[in-house]
Amino acid sequence: MDDQYLLSMNNISKEYYGNRVLKNVNLQVKPGEIHALVGENGAGKSTLMNILFGMPVIFATGGFEGDILLNGEVTAIDSPHAAMNSGIGMVHQEFMLIPEFTVTENIKLGREIGESTALSKIFGNLLERLNWNQMKDDSRKALDSIGMMNIEEYAKVAGMPIGYKQFVEIAREIDKTGIKLLVFDEPTAVLTESEADRLLEIMRLIAQKGIAIIFITHRLTEVMAVADSMTILRDGEFVARKDVKDTSLVNIAELMIGRQVEKLVEDDLLGERELLDDRIALEFKDYYVDMPGERVQGMDVRIREGEIFGFGGLAGQGKIGIANGIMGLYETSGEVLVYDKPLVLSRLGEALRNGIAFVSEDRRGVGLLLGESIERNIIFSAMQINDEFVKRIGPMKILDQKAADEHTENMIKLLDIRCTGPSQVVGSLSGGNQQKVCLARALTMVPKILIVSEPTRGIDIGAKKLVLEYLTKINRELGMTIIMISSELVELRSLCDRIAIISEGKVFSVMKPNDSDAAFGLAMAGIREEVAR
Amino acid sequence: MKTLKTFYENIGLPRLIIGLFFILLVVASLLLGFSPAALFSDVVRRWLMYGTLVLAMVPGIQSGIGLNFGISLGISSGLLGAVLAMEVAFVRDWNGLYGAGSPWMTLLLAIILGVIFAAIVGTLYGMLLNRVKGSEMTVSTYVGFSIIAFMNIVWLSLSFTNGELSWPLQGQGLRNTASLSGSFGGLLSNPDVVQNTQPEWLHWLAFRVGDFIVPMGLILVFGLMCFFVWLFFRSKTGIAMSGAGENQLFTTSSGINVDRKRIQGTAISTVIGAVGIILYAQTYGFLQLYNAPLMMGFASVASILIGGATVKRARISHVLIGTFLFQGILVTALPVVNEVVEIGTLPEVLRIIISNGIILYALSKTKGENQ
């Protein structure tokens, strides 16, 4: 019976310091099959994979119980090297690539093809000459076999979009001879939607070659789209092995303990209001930003006063560059008009002085002074730009501690920042609270236009909802124009009035939040609907 | 137990060890029968003497250039100001013209000239450091050493008429060590000088309480310097400068020219260094030229690090605590060690171990930020 399976892991149990993380789990994969391993965080997926790869952490903590069978034979996998020799490969979530190396060098790393030379005959194969042509050909073949004709094998990995890095990593695994089983650990988590679709296609392509795939993911739609069968884990226990064709999304969700569909912003907050087409708060004309990896290349868009305007699109297409350019972090060209007044973006602080505040997507890198107190962070921009919170003593402008304290206390209350007080160091706050501090700093500027970039990245669902609701609230109550840049379409669609999808540094189309999923999907992929039909 | 732990965490291991060592030395010296008044007079004097030089580290660290090993630039500027002022005083015969006021004029001129030189040199130095972002500390160490070598040439080639400064029987070159006893030496800190040469209404500048010497003038000047630096870092410019040191992107996105703030910070650090060496010289009573300031940068760096500063953040309290502990150990170690063992150079060895050890410790704790 076991013969039909390439891999079967039988009755696997594992304890970490008396804590049972896996209880009699079974996993079977057939050759050429895409098998999904699903389960919530902490269900035991990673531990199971660590066992499969013979990771040292498993043996350092007392090994495991159960058998691993490869092609029906019990195989001892006691080191990652043994796993590799057995034809098991892994595509990592964090890319194990050397940025300064070319694609070929990365693919062939550790498995370089050498040619013997006079020196190597004497001193051994460490002194062999590299056969670059052969290595390039192999890399090209590996890349072509996953349909990545447009990745050049001689390009450096540094500066590539995240999706491409993932594909290079896959190519590396494919290039290994005798690969039988490939594990994809949350491969789509860091990818944008179209890159993820591309990846799924590649997985199908690989499976067609007879290589089995274990696909670990949280995204059930992807499982439905690509997997043949699945194993569901819950709290370290085996729940079921199912064929995808026999099941449904609802069914899987139930087995995993159903995820509730989250509502990000309550309906009663999203009251109707009238936006006038001739009141333009912010206008971009032929706008360029030279931000590496996120270039904006000739963007035109008009944003109405009081609007919540979203910018969506894939990573690397330029949506992140829009705000960073306005705030003067990267070179820009073209025109940006605030209420018909052109900004001189080469002048530092120009946008701030004209009533635009910015919450950066890179909270720790750009958004905060991590070593300073909450108070310093919140008042910093307002103090520097608007001369608020200062007392004049002779020629000096000295911090007005009392005013700053008062304001910070208010902000802490208003945004419900969980902290020990205004003097707590920002670096010790949780992600969600740090984001609120960023928001507080922007609001302290009392901006006419607020730009928030990836406002919910890396914060938990509760804080996420609070941040989004607060944005909606200040928009409705104060009439503040809000520009939101986000990778999460759900988020954009739940509160924006209009959403511009950015593709290749330009506005591809401006959409309504209630446009169909298909329309959004096509726009993100940069495909015109007419063409798709 | 918990409060004990937070107490320990707040103090940190190096300060705990050095603090305990200091207390041990104090107890030992008292047991050996040294006069506590004389001992503490010495500790306080040295504390104030080095304090301003250590204070010069603060603007450098806060503006993001890290530990300013190049403080020798400020020191050299200050020394140049001092020798020029003394020469001017001699040529113009300020003693004849101003009597008891002449040391004051000389001190003032020395500081003014030193500050002007330091401001110019510091600005240029700041511009240099902006071009080597990421390796400021390496470059500043080189610069710090180079300027000493350069100044050696300058000292050798200056031909002054003031006999206190120039070598006797020779036309060119300045002495290794020039006495300030006829000039501004001890004006703010030495009770003998103050009581003998100054009018009565200035006698509060330095006086004795029993055997204990209170260098009131120096306390006042150093206190004011600390206060101004503290105030500066609460001003709009100072807060912007701190921001530039902590996070360049953040500060740029708030509309601040980070490079300019770094230049300002470096210049201020150099200027304070210039004032620092003049105060040092007046307390010590001698101007030390040539290679004497070579390692002063390291002592300053070590002091502020002992005080608890990191290469990215420093406060006035770090200056005060660090200088006190560092100098306190050196002062108390000398008599104790001489009494216990017969190796005369041991305090010097101790100084090197402590300063280099602390710098090493602090640098090992820094986190790389360029990646």
A408-447 pLDDT, tens digit each: 999 998 888 888 888 888 888 877 888 889 989 998 988 9
User: Does B240 sit within 8 Å of A384, measured CB to CB?
Assistant: yes
Within chain A, all domains assigned CATH 3.40.50.300 are found at: 2-86+180-256, 267-367+446-532
For B250, the closest of A368, A383, A396 (CB atoms) is: A368
Is A427's Cβ below 8 Å from some Cβ in B?
no
pLDDT score of A261 more than 50:
no
pLDDT-based confidence at residue A267 (cuts at 50, 70, 90): low
Distance from CA of A490 to the nearest CA of B (A): 29
Q: pLDDT tens digits, residue range A351-398? A: 888 889 999 888 888 888 888 889 999 999 889 888 888 888 888 888
Distance CA B335, CA B352 (A): 17
pLDDT of residue A3: 58
What's the whole-number mean pLDDT along residues B37-60? 91
pLDDT score of B96 more than 60:
yes
Q: pLDDT tens digits, residue range B300-312? A: 988 888 888 888 8
For B253, the closest of A327, A376, A399 (CB atoms) is: A327
pLDDT of residue A94: 61
Top pLDDT among B129 and A163 is at B129
User: Which of A210, A136, A211 lies closest to A173, judged by CA?
Assistant: A211
What's the whole-number mean pLDDT along residues B330-353? 73
Is A328's Cβ below 8 Å from some Cβ in B?
yes
Minimal-distance CA residue of chain A relative to B314: A371
Please give the CATH topology (third level) of the domain spanning A2-86+180-256.
Rossmann fold (3.40.50)
pLDDT of residue A532: 47
Q: pLDDT tens digits, residue range A300-327? A: 999 998 899 999 887 678 888 998 888 8
For B250, the closest of A348, A353, A367 (CB atoms) is: A367
User: Does B254 sit within 8 Å of A349, measured CB to CB?
Assistant: yes
What is the longest distance spanned by two Cα atoms in chain B? 69
Distance CA B347, CA A292 (A): 55
pLDDT score of A64 more than 80:
yes
| Mean pLDDT, rounded, of chain A | 82
pLDDT score of A143 more than 60:
yes
User: Does A399 sit within 8 Å of B246, measured CB to CB?
Assistant: no
User: Does B312 sit within 8 Å of A349, measured CB to CB?
Assistant: no
Whether B302 contacts B356, CB under 8 Å:
yes
pLDDT score of B98 more than 90:
no
pLDDT-based confidence at residue A517 (cuts at 50, 70, 90): low
Element (H, E) at A240: strand A237-243
User: Does A352 sit within 8 Å of B254, measured CB to CB?
Assistant: yes
User: φ, ψ for residue A282 (rounded to 5)?
Assistant: -145, 130
Residue ranges per structural domain of chain B: 31-359
pLDDT of residue A259: 35
pLDDT score of B371 more than 70:
no
Top pLDDT among A94 and B39 is at B39
pLDDT score of B128 more than 50:
yes
Q: Is the dihedral angle over the CA atoms A78, A84, A85, A87 positive or is it negative? A: positive
Pick the CATH number of A267-367+446-532 from 3.30.300.30, 3.40.50.150, 3.40.50.300, 3.40.30.10: 3.40.50.300
pLDDT score of A129 more than 50:
yes
DSSP A178: T
What's the whole-number mean pLDDT along residues A108-130? 77
Is A370's Cβ below 8 Å from some Cβ in B?
yes
Per CATH, domain B31-359 is 3.30.1130 = no
Distance CA A527, CA A519 (A): 9
Distance CA A328, CA A331 (A): 7
Residue A383 with chain B: CB contacts under 8 Å: 236, 239
Residue B240 with chain A: CB contacts under 8 Å: 384
Q: pLDDT tens digits, residue range B235-246? A: 999 999 999 998
Is A398's Cβ below 8 Å from some Cβ in B?
yes
Distance CA B268, CA B127 (A): 13
pLDDT of residue A531: 52
pLDDT score of B39 more than 50:
yes
Give the three-class secondary structure for A219: coil
Give the three-class secondary structure for A21: strand
Give the mutation candidate from B6, B10, B246, B253 for the A interface (greatest A CB count, under 10 A): B253
pLDDT of residue B123: 95
Q: First CA to last CA across chain A, in angstroms?
A: 46
pTM: 0.71
Minimal-distance CA residue of chain B relative to A328: B253
For A365, the closest of B249, B257, B313 (CB atoms) is: B249
